[in-house]
Amino acid sequence: MINDFEALSPEEQLRVKESVQLLYRQTFLLERKYDRRTKRYQLNREYYQCSKHMEWIRAYFAVMDIEVMENSQMGVIYLRGEQVVGEKLPRLATLYILILKLIYDEQMSGVSTSVNAMTTIKEIHEKLGAYRILKKQPSASEIQRTIRLLKKYQIVEPLDVLEELDGSSRMVIYPAIQVVLMGDDVRALLSTFSEGDEEDDESEI
């Protein structure tokens, strides 16, 4: 494994190192990401670096009892194992993720040629209202912080400037949402949130 890495050029070693660090930090990598400037999906260099060297990257993470999984259909490489610890998320971000998963599943059930779905803030809030888990509308700054956090972890990609978000603002839902909530019953999780409990507690997801 070490010999394989040392056989690479210094530039390639640096690219692989940065890609593996990003995978470990985020716990997943996307094959394609939406570029708002070109309005097109662009290939993700880090994904292909890890895919190219998958055999020994798996051996590296196996030392820590972490599996490296690659789902080529979804276009996601992700980590799996008890040693993989998710970030503590604010309550609103957790609720957004649960609703985004519902929207993603609904849209994917009707298409077969795409792994990305689209939604708006208005649609997210309408579904939150249907489950009666928001007592009051979040402030614009809370919504911006939440979307910025979900963008950071490649769960969504806003198609508009974050500072100009409103109810009609569209965003891409990346297939990473499948990894974040893989195997979970989202509706059951939503039912655990009390309508009257509006404190911004943190949840791990």
Q: What is the pLDDT of residues 84-109, one digit of tens each?
A: 766 677 889 889 999 999 999 888 88
In a shared domain, residues 190 and 103: yes
Residue type, 33: K
For the question of whether the overall pTM of this predicted structure is more than 0.85, the answer is no
Domain that holds residue 101: 88-204
In a shared domain, residues 172 and 92: yes
H helix intervals, 53-139? 54-62, 91-108, 121-130
In a shared domain, residues 56 and 95: no
In a shared domain, residues 93 and 185: yes
Write the DSSP symbol of residue 7. Answer: T
In a shared domain, residues 49 and 6: yes
Domain termination residue (choose one: 63, 80, 97):
80
SS3 state at 14: helix
In a shared domain, residues 67 and 11: yes
Task: Concatenate the DSSP letters of all residues of 35-100 into one string.
Answer: ETTTTEEEE-HHHHHHHHTHHHHHHHHHTTT-EEEEETTTTEEEEESTT--PPEEEHHHHHHHHHH
In a shared domain, residues 125 and 151: yes
In a shared domain, residues 189 and 157: yes
In a shared domain, residues 139 and 188: yes
In a shared domain, residues 16 and 114: no
Residue 9's alpha-carbon distances to 14, 15, 135, in angstroms, are 9, 10, 57
* pLDDT computed for residue 31 by the predictor: 93
Domain termination residue (choose one: 21, 48, 80):
80
How many structural domains are present in the chain? Answer: 2
Each residue's pLDDT, cut to its tens digit, for the chain (205 residues) gives: 556 777 888 888 898 899 999 898 888 899 998 888 888 889 999 999 999 999 889 998 999 999 999 998 889 999 988 767 666 778 898 899 999 999 998 888 876 566 678 999 999 999 998 888 877 788 989 999 999 999 988 899 998 777 777 888 889 999 888 877 654 556 666 666 654 454 455 554 4
Domain termination residue (choose one: 80, 100, 124):
80
Residues 187 and 95 sit within 8 Å (Cβ to Cβ): no
* pLDDT computed for residue 61 by the predictor: 92
Element (H, E) at 146: helix 140-152
